[in-house]
Structure 1
């Protein structure tokens, strides 16, 4: 039984997972958005018991861990990313007892639990903020970022909110502005205050003591602000990136050097890592929400083995097409920027258009293409994160305005439709009410085009997308070089991405035809032994390798 760590007692969590302090390096993490995974109460919103009931399915995929998006007590103005109690479960998701049950069930299946911690800001209903805004003298008066207006009454700086408008909100009671990088109802904590840091580290310890195996840290580079309150400089138009905020949002018009990305963050991350190190086998992945200087931040946050274990990279979450040059550039830039660092790559998540639509809409054969992308992501150097429904081939749902729940989408409609299209409920059963997700009215509609992709429609079909993912994850597990080995690219033209993965005495050659035409490439030097079990059909010919459109080739290189 897993009962004790160097930090003290932890709750008993069931069957012990084989200790491996390095499990995260190259691990496969499955992201669960709890509102949309499985509802057991009938209220149309997924819950923790629902995730526990589906652990057998998750285990069948062959993943190492699940990352659960926020389930803490919250008014849900940003669907859980506005926390009002860090150490409790919102009733819509269940209870702390339900969470403990989920941890036990997951550990019994050999699956680790990573939870999503939102430390940069709270809900304005959090007791800390309620006290902080009462006056300027109370014990928590400095727990949030408060500032005086300019002489003309305008906000202290030009900083902007990701959700639109100024990042400052006037509070009439204190006659000051408070900082909110997101919704007005999400005030930013003041990390320059040591009491705030201590309180947040206590939250981390609370969940470690309950048996969690790690954390995904939301908006990790937003923790600190510039104490001098300097204005952000403008950003040249050609450098703006819509992966951070939609083009209709002027947030992209600034270089965000003073409202986030502050060097003081490194000290806090070291304190955070020291706490995790008291609990062997735990890990943390930091979300770097900034494509402007993202790779440099990843390098800073993951170097030295005393801060983040890995960072969640955004380079493949934008609309930039996946090309040979794009993949080579991203991976090479990362390895150059962070030679000691480690990335966690994802193609989809709960905040972006599903990649089956984002990239798949532009190709002739979407299904073959996203099968190829699955083969590509399991071959990249780094850990990988798969988003629920990705393994089914789900596309982005096109929802009507009256069905939207996301405040981001409502704010910028119709130029930007928000994030609800990637958050629609998981489809378990093709013919059941609400596709087996709930017996009630689902919080978002079930897209009709998703029904034929349901788990029960694919589970026993050998050639299904679901079983393709299962094969690929088993293939990655059978060849650890794909998870932990070094990476070097081979030059095989503009249409075929080729790489060699090496680890000790093992080397695997991987080639991916990203085009809609048959490609013939020269074989690399050395003996090639074609590998099986991955589901692709590239052929080894005398002197060459032939790869069909959107297909791949794997071989052991001697």
Structure 2
């Protein structure tokens, strides 16, 4: 691999959810050998790196985000040798590999927790966050779980409550204990030694809690947004001042960065979900001594207006300093963007336009598997759900299964995902006409549009390294300029179902875009943007 310490700045990272990507051993669940089999496909997209969602040993109560052994591969996904082979093949294709580290909490089946819950005196007694009940037997404070209900679970053996920000089977580690921090960093070092190129840090602002366990206040203004939680979840009604985003987190991130600095060309991207996510993103990435980059939930909401996009970008730019953002409009936790933003007017061109907008913003980019096919959200019946989040909140919130159904590789009953008669989630019949095999042969497909634009992006360093200056926006239209080393590229985006016309006094020389990309044109100093189209042009003065 080439020596490039800053490869991650402006990189495009393709998220693979292994359970749903490709099933190589035909047991109905995707696996690491399946990812290896599809490395050629990932490489053909023109991305820079792969992000692998968790594949560690786990009871799978939260599908790998409940880790019982940080330093091994769960048999459902393969072996440690399979992981080594994946690293080798990815690197041979010029792809970096970023893995998902779930450091905030473990499974309740992790040996650390099994030891901790035995007594108040054992070696792991304070490796988790234990607290006595109030005199009336109730929980220590008012903190809530993201997945609904109190964030405290009573343990009859210790006769204390333990903290779980997510499922009760996911107890939070006590980062105030130096031994815990040392052990966690040891697990990170294990994977660095195996050649990984970086880490996506799950819930990166949750590691520390207020040691006095102060109650969170109520929110004065309640809106869907930065914490990635719907309004039918009571979690959205608290201001989360004390259960996460604590100042002690900074010192831990600095220790983590010191470790990564021992391994050249590695990186971190932190997931930030809090009431002031853009401010936290800036704090966590400034100074070249903490995280390399962060992403928030600000573009993972239902607000696809160009006002929201511009406001988010300008807010982070104003406070970022020398920090660096990472953006995504879809992942394994939210409704697929073709449905969430496309709505009832979802179309191939709309998927293409949102992709071009995302890939033209300043920052690094995460793409979620299936976005390059324009997959809509899969509709599931209640008895098909496996996600505890959706089961808890059904029917108002159907959970995350709809964005996690198997990847369609061919227009066949199984979607080419598996030869098993039953897959862990059903293959969605509406995805089959959008399968890779169908889009490969259609030069105007969403898949070809992704490939075309990703390869074009590599030829325009303005889109990777340039600064950003916004020119115009309304509800459905956005224009901005990216400038790098004296070269400026103008980008205009129309997400509306009708033609939009923009005036400009700039001297523009439009780029000729590949046929898969819906393109506007310039006429009489006006930019004509047909429905769901874009214009890219070199600024000549």
Contact map agreement 1:492 1:522 (CA 8 A) in 2: no
Shift of 1:403: 0.5
User: 1:370 Cα deviation (Å)?
Assistant: 1.3
**Once superposed, which parts of structure 1, at least 4 consecutive aligned residues long, lie more than 6 Å away?**
none
Cα displacement (A) at 1:488: 0.2
* Correspondent of 1:438 among 411, 418, 438: 418
User: Corresponding residue for 2:481?
Assistant: 500
Aligned residue runs from structure 1 range 109-258, under 5 A: 109-239=93-223, 241=225, 244-258=228-242
User: How many residue pairs end up in the alignment?
Assistant: 538
Residue 489 of structure 1, CA deviation: 0.6
**Which residue in the other structure is 1:323 paired with?**
305
Q: Does 1:314 align with 2:297?
A: yes
- The aligned counterpart of 1:6 is none
1:383 CA displacement: 0.6
Gap change, CA 1:163 and 1:542, over 3 Å in 2 = same
C-alpha displacement of 1:525: 2.4
Picking from 332, 335, 343, the partner of 1:350 is 332
Q: Distance in 2 between matches of 1:270 and 1:28?
A: 25
Seen in structure 2, the aligned counterparts of structure 1 residues 30 and 475 have a Cα distance that, compared at 3 Å, is same
> Are 1:83 and 2:64 matched, yes or no?
no
Q: 1:207 to 1:150 in 2, by over 3 A?
A: same
Alignment-derived partner of residue 376 in structure 2: 395
**How far is 1:531 from its partner?**
4.3
1:329-368 matched pairs, under 5 angstroms: 329-363=311-345, 366-368=347-349
Q: Deviations over 1:227-258 (max 9, x none)?
A: 01100000124345486223222111100010
Structure 1, residues 437-463: CA drift from partner, whole Å, max 9, x if none? 111121111111100111111112211
- Shift of the 175–494 alpha-carbon distance from structure 1 to 2, 3 Å rule, reads closer
1:295 is aligned to 278
1:429 aligned counterpart, secondary structure: coil
Alignment partner, residue 535 of structure 1: 517
Structure 2 match to 1:73: 57
Matches within 5 A, 1:101-112: 101-112=85-96
Shift in alpha-carbon separation, 1:553–1:194, aligned structure 2, 3 A: same
- Closer/same/farther in 2, CA of residues 492 and 99 from structure 1, 3 Å limit: closer
Q: Does 1:455 align with 2:436?
A: yes
Maintained 8 Å contact 2:226/2:298: no
Separation in structure 1 between the aligned mates of residue 85 and residue 225 of structure 2, nearest angstrom: 42
1:546 deviation in Å? 1.1
Determine the structure 2 residue equivalent to 1:5.
Answer: none
Residue aligning to 1:525:
506
| Alignment of 1:409 onto 2:377 | no
- Return the alpha-carbon distance in structure 2 between the equivalents of residues 369 and 461 of structure 1: 17
Equivalent of 2:407 in 408, 426, 430:
426
Of the candidates 538, 546, 554, which is equivalent to residue 528 of structure 2?
A: 546
Match of 1:281 in 2: 265
Deviates more, 1:470-479 or 1:517-526: 517-526
Aligned-residue Cα RMSD (Å) equals 1.3
How big is the shift at 1:524?
Answer: 3.9
CA distance in 2, matches of 1:525, 1:517: 24
Alpha-carbon distance, 1:222 to partner: 0.6
- Cα drift, residue 493 of structure 1: 5.0
Q: Deviations over 1:257-299 (max 9, x none)?
A: 1000101000000000011111110000000022x21011101
CA contact (8 A) 2:29 2:423 kept: yes
Q: 2:468 aligns with which of 477, 487, 503?
A: 487
Give, in angstroms, the shift of residue 319 of structure 1: 0.9
Conserved in 2, the CA contact under 8 Å of 1:530 and 1:540? Answer: no
SS at match of 1:221: coil
CA distance in 2, matches of 1:471, 1:240: 34
Once the two structures are superposed, residues 309-353 of structure 1 have per-residue CA deviations (whole angstroms, 9 ceiling, x without a partner) of 100221110111x22211110100111121222111111100000
Give unpaired runs (5+ residues) of structure 1: 1-16
